[in-house]
Amino acid sequence: MSTDIGAAHDFAERQVRIVDVAQRQIGIVRWRGDFYALSNICSHQGGPLCRGVLSGRLGATAPGEIVLDDTVPLIACPWHGWEFDVRTGRAILDPTLRVRTYPVRVAAGRVILDLDRVGAENVLASEA
């Protein structure tokens, strides 16, 4: 089931917008021009994942240094801080744990969500 969830320009860059589709809450993320869609239910303990903090991934190249990898969008659940890669749904601390992701695309300036297919890496670049 493909669903038009709104105009691409209505989705702010680096923000999560929660939409209700087919009795599901799905977070839509626009990050560096690409769109991602993931369940609003944290697989750790069922928290409202998409109400958490969205950011790039922090890493280190040497002791005492912190580097922000802006190419990897992460979302942290507001309940316990579990972080998930928005692109794949995989948890950072335990890659065997993941949240459901959905294919999302932009066609003719509209954001289209496909609930029929589910997978670990359902990411399509925007065509906007």
In a domain, 97, yes or no: yes
pLDDT of the residue at 41? 93
| C-alpha 15, offset from chain centre | 10
Distance CA 107, CA 1 (A): 15
Distance CA 5, CA 39 (A): 15
In a domain, 31, yes or no: yes
| C-alpha 58, offset from chain centre | 17
In a domain, 127, yes or no: no
* pLDDT mean by block of 10 residues, the chain; 128 residues: 93 96 94 95 89 88 84 93 94 90 95 75 40
In a domain, 121, yes or no: no
pLDDT of the residue at 67? 82
pLDDT of the residue at 126? 38
- Residue identified by tokens 């670990």 is 120
Distance CA 52, CA 74 (A): 10
In a domain, 64, yes or no: yes
| C-alpha 63, offset from chain centre | 30
**Taking Cα atoms as reference points, which of 11, 12, 41 lies closest to residue 26?**
41
Distance CA 121, CA 81 (A): 22
pLDDT of the residue at 59? 81
In a domain, 55, yes or no: yes
CATH of the domain at 44: 2.102.10.10
In a domain, 20, yes or no: yes
pLDDT of the residue at 117? 67
pLDDT of the residue at 78? 93
In a domain, 122, yes or no: no
pLDDT of the residue at 56? 85
In the chain, the number of structural domains is: 1
Q: Which domain holds residue 99?
A: 2-114
